Structure 1
Amino acid sequence: MDFELPEEHRMLKELVRRFVQDELIPLEAGVLEREAKGQGLGIGPAEVARIDKISKELGLWGLDAPTDIGGSDLPALAMIGVNEELGKTVTPYTLPPDSPNLRMLMATVNERQREAYLAPYVRGETVSAIGISEPGAGADPAGMITRAERDGDDWVLNGRKIWISRADHADFTIVMAVTNKEKRARGGISAFLVDKGTKGFNVLRRIPMIGGAATYEIALEDCRVEGWKLLGKEGNGFGPMQLRLGTRRLEMAAWSIGMAQRALDMICAFAPTRVTFGQPLSDRQAIQWWVA
């Protein structure tokens, strides 16, 4: 079996490698300094805008989005190489748009939602979040209790979501809710597009995380959503949600490989230069075992 990437995928991977080396790694010192001071693990809006501009000029936006709305329609194999390279820096930057949410939107949007949500998202004009986990339902999303009930042509959502990345500034959030409590994961969970500023959608608190990042808890209190913002069909939210989670897991696995490779490269570069008791670390068998 041939495990080599196709030539075009290798070229893309090399392009992302240079982008990480030239634009992201130089920012690491500042990122780590802010983390040490408890100021969060991140880069400022001006830097994000600058890097966004560069990544867009390089053709690195919407890599796995459909070509008819500005993407490159790349397969998962190509995206593994991209994410492996992005994992080689602690500078927290993801090429727009967020791939897992993109995959879920691509699988479910109708034409109206495609123009209103998906197309601007691919162009990098909007930021998304997704609300799945709840205080009492994390690893078991089928146990969620946030509910959505019909009220005329609208839906009214009530419940809480937790561990939500970007909830404080996302332009829209994909909210998972129970629409049929008897069916639940077998046709009773639906997805809704909730815009920033929607009445009844409230960010309750910021939850600090290891590494200086943060997630959020949100409350839905009689949050009214127009009927056309039901994502996909009623009761058909669980499958696309699992597709989204699968994409994220694949992405994070690739990031972890990149992170491990960067750490190994740093060890191999450092060990010959560090001399203890008259001998470089690279000559010590215990260190060689670690590297091997």
Structure 2
Amino acid sequence: MFEIGEEHQMLRELVKKFVRNELMPLEKNVLDRFASGQPAALSDEENDKLFKQCKELGLWALDVPEEVGGANLPAVALVGVNEELGYTCVPFTFPPDSPNLHMLLATANPEQRKKYLEPYAAGLTSSAIAISEPGAGGDPAGMKTKAVKDGSDWVINGRKIWISRIAKADFTIAMAVTDP
């Protein structure tokens, strides 16, 4: 039988309290927005307050490597975190946005890590990601946007749609084909 360690169980209990005390009281706001035809989302003010609380409680950068300021928690610890988040309809994940962060971890060179990854992991910037394309949707295998090296620069040619959080992003991660 598999057992969760005491430290990870304590984290889960902290997340449980956070969900009950901070997220569940926002459910009415989210559902009212949705019922009136708006996105079922948190307002900027609600997100800002929650992000501040996450930093204060140590619920920031849970799966981020330690070398860029994160807790580097294993996936097994994050299962309990995500199970607790599932008890509310409030669309919230602990910051920063993990897929975008892991994309940067996998692809950024040292200069990009300093300029984009480190401030992003610390919560000083926000990101968008451009994956979806007409005819391909969100399937990277169907992507047609190309990036071609031109000296020390990259020239990107293609179209993107449905770019998440673009209006508020400090930078955008654009996916493109470099070797078809």
TM-score by length of 2: 0.91
Task: Give distance in 2, aligned partners of 1:20 and 1:8.
Answer: 19
Q: Give the corresponding residue for 1:138.
A: 137
Within 5 Å, give how 1:177-216 maps onto structure 2: 177-180=176-179, 184=180
More strand per residue = 1
What does residue 282 of structure 1 align with?
none
Letter in 2 for 1:104: M
- Give the aligned partner of residue 95 of structure 2: 96
Structure 1 letter corresponding to 2:15: V
Indicate the residue corresponding to 2:31 in structure 1: 32
Distance 2:163 2:82 in 1: 21
**Matching residue of 2:81:** 82
Structure 2 partner of 1:149: 148
Is the contact between residue 68 and residue 118 of structure 2 (CA under 8 Å) also seen in structure 1? yes
Q: How does 1:3-22 map to 2 (within 5 A)?
A: 3-22=2-21
Q: Alpha-carbon deviations, 1:82-107, whole Å to 9, x = none?
A: 11211221112221101122222222
1:44-71, CA deviations, whole angstroms, 9 ceiling, x for partnerless residues?
2222111111111000001111223321
Structure 1: 4+ residue segments shifted above 6 A: none
| CA distance in structure 2 between the partners assigned to 1:143 and 1:50 by the alignment | 39
Deviations 1:154-213 (A, max 9, x none): 112121123332122222221111223xxx2xxxxxxxxxxxxxxxxxxxxxxxxxxxxx
State the number of aligned residues.
180
SS of the equivalent of 1:9 reads helix
SS at match of 1:94: coil
Alignment of 1:95-114 (within 5 A): 95-114=94-113
* Cα shift readout 1:189-241 (whole Å, capped 9, x = no counterpart): xxxxxxxxxxxxxxxxxxxxxxxxxxxxxxxxxxxxxxxxxxxxxxxxxxxxx
What are the ranges of 5 or more consecutive residues in structure 1 without an aligned counterpart? 185-292
TM-score normalised by length of structure 1: 0.58
What are the residue-to-residue correspondences of 1:162-241 with 2, within 5 Å? 162-180=161-179, 184=180
Q: How many angstroms apart in 1 are the aligned matches of 2:154 and 2:138?
A: 26
Counterparts of 2:160 and 2:170, CA distance in 1:
17
Q: Percent identity?
A: 61
Could you tell me whether the CA contact under 8 Å between 2:131 and 2:138 is conserved in 1? no
The RMSD of aligned alpha carbons is 1.7
Distance across 2 between alignment mates of 1:135 and 1:55: 37
Structure 2: unaligned runs, 5 residues or longer: none
For residue 139 of structure 1, report the CA deviation from its aligned partner.
6.1
Q: Cα 1:159–1:60, aligned 2, differ >3 Å: closer, same or farther?
A: same
Q: Which has the larger radius of gyration?
A: 1
Equivalent residues in 2 for 1:120-135, closer than 5 Å:
120-135=119-134
